[in-house]
Amino acid sequence: MTQSIINTGKVLHQVVLGKLQGVEDGYFDKQPEGFNNTIRWNVGHMIYWMDKYSTLSFGSPSAIPDSYDTLFNSGTKPLDWTFAPPSKEELVETLAAQLSRLSELTPEMLGEKLSTPYALGPFHFDTAGELFNFALIHEAIHLGTISSQVKVLSR
């Protein structure tokens, strides 16, 4: 079962990368009415949290610039940015690098207990696999948001 979770993570990342290839550059920084953020923010937010969850789950060092915390952590928004965010190309490259790192995961790694259980609101995660699986759910939610934003912007 854990190999299935790893495969799902790789497929999901591939779907995200494919979706971004079809997003017009002009849409990346437009915030459609009814949405809290832009496509660029959602992509960066997914990268930021996958990196954070990977660090928490597997003890891997962060592979993103410190600026991603300021730009893409929960509660941030483009209206508050005081410096330029990463380009679409940089975001796509970072997602591709994350996809490569997903190929290094093993089922045994997912079965490992977290050094400290992770709590997120009412949710509680004890193993790397539980937290990684939540990271995939989180990414899928933001993929849905990006898809909705593209639909609204293309009208």
- Between CA 97 and CA 87 the distance in angstroms is 15
- Between CA 31 and CA 68 the distance in angstroms is 19
68: confidence class by pLDDT, cuts 50, 70, 90? very high
Looking at every residue in the chain, the average pLDDT score rounds to: 95
**Which pLDDT score is estimated for 2?**
79
Instruction: Give this prediction's pTM.
Output: 0.94
Question: What's the maximum distance between 2 C-alpha atoms anywhere in the chain?
Answer: 48
Q: What is the DSSP string of 79-128?
A: GG--SPPPPHHHHHHHHHHHHHHHTT--HHHHTSEEEEEEEETTEEEEEH
Q: Does domain 2-153 have CATH number 1.10.490.10?
A: no
Q: Read off the pLDDT of each residue in 140-147 and give the average, rounded to a whole number.
A: 97
**Which pLDDT score is estimated for 1?**
59
Could you tell me the residue ranges of all domains in the chain? 2-153
